[in-house]
Chains A and B, each alone.
Chain A
Amino acid sequence: MHGFANPARFLRIARWATPLCLLLGLVLAAWALVWGVFFAPADALQGDTVRIVYLHVPTAWLGMGGWSAIAIASFTEIVWRHPLAGIAARAVALPGAVFTALCLITGSIWGRPAWGTWWVWDGRLTSMLVLLFLYFGYMALDAAARGSQQAGQGQSRITAIFGLVGAVNIPVIHYSVTWWNSLHQPPSITMGKSAMAADFLVPLLIATVGFSLIFGGIVMARMRTILADEQAEARLRRKAMRAQAPAVGEAW
């Protein structure tokens, strides 16, 4: 793992992996969504609205997975001071927030015909909304730390601690449907088991892989953006210092 913490090695891999992940992800996600809309059967109880599952479940998985990645990267940065860990955490925040928001909105759109309401303040929906606010808090804290020059390329220490502490919400989201009464259904897919028929499960798995690849491609693109910005700024600073050096000498 430590070998991959080298930015030059990361850039060598990311140069081909970024477009590959994005293209493959877009193809798989589009294939799964077309399958879900036109070829998968309607549900016996929910009718055609069940087709929203092919979008809702991957976005929920990525919203929660995104924060798990922030927590792991934050822990890695605090403990081992990996140069890329903080950059990875910062890069995950925006796509994590966007996919969490998409999960909430698609869930709300699905909830109206399925439950008869756009929103209920139950455990699953509320904890997912809290996750969205945690993402906003993380991004605001990161921007504030950056503005006050407390952080280098990575996160500031306080942002990393926030990323770590916020992970307490992930098991709350996961178990909310079993801990509390909820309109939301219990998990259909658990480790090694599925309550879903193969007709629904196969396109759902393809959609999840596709959206995960898109998410990975976006994160790599954002990490490359942060690294390129920092490299340009560092070079400009060195140039400015070299330009100032003779003037300082003359003054003496």
Chain B
Amino acid sequence: MTEAFDQWQFVIAAYALGGATTLGLAAYSWLAMRRAEARRDKVREG
């Protein structure tokens, strides 16, 4: 007995996961940096 795969399901799953994770990590790192630098500037001024 052989299984029939829809190959595109695997391609879409890999791309969705890879794209979302990469974008999420980039956005998280960027926002954390902006927050930390804003806090540092606030402490400097205060």
Assuming the contacts A37-B15, A98-B21, A106-B14, asked whether A232 and B26 have C-beta atoms less than 8 A apart, the reply is no
Stretch at the interface among A148-156, A162-170, A197-205, A214-222: A214-222
A51 lies within 8 A of chain B by Cβ: yes
A2 lies within 8 A of chain B by Cβ: no
Stretch at the interface among A70-78, A82-90, A107-115: A107-115
A214 touches B40 (CB 8 A): no
With A and B bound together, what is the CA distance between A110 and B18 in angstroms? 13
Stretch at the interface among A52-60, A123-131, A132-140: A52-60
Residues in chain B near residue A232, CB distance under 8 A: 36, 39-40, 43
Chain B 16-44 near chain A by CB (<8 Å), digits 1 or 0: 01110111011001101100110110011
Residues in chain B near residue A33, CB distance under 8 A: 15, 19
A235 touches B44 (CB 8 A): yes
Interface magnitude class on chain A: 35 or more
Closest chain A residue to B30, Cβ basis: A221
Assuming the contacts A22-B30, A224-B36, A225-B36, asked whether A110 and B25 have C-beta atoms less than 8 A apart, the reply is no
A211 lies within 8 A of chain B by Cβ: yes
B26 touches A26 (CB 8 A): yes
With A and B bound together, what is the CA distance between A56 and B36 in angstroms? 32
A66 lies within 8 A of chain B by Cβ: no
Residues in chain A near residue B37, CB distance under 8 A: 224-225, 228
Closest chain B residue to A49, Cβ basis: B7
- Mark A residues whose CB is within 8 Å of B: 18, 22, 26, 29, 33, 37, 47-49, 51-52, 55-56, 59, 94-95, 98, 102, 105-106, 109-110, 112-113, 116, 211, 214, 217-218, 221-222, 224-225, 228-229, 231-232, 235-236
- Mark B residues whose CB is within 8 Å of A: 3, 5, 7-8, 10-11, 13-15, 17-19, 21-23, 25-26, 29-30, 32-33, 36-37, 39-40, 43-44
Instruction: Return 16 A-B CB contacts under 8 Å, by A number.
Output: A33-B19, A47-B7, A59-B18, A98-B25, A113-B7, A113-B10, A211-B22, A217-B26, A224-B33, A224-B37, A225-B32, A225-B37, A228-B39, A229-B40, A235-B40, A235-B44
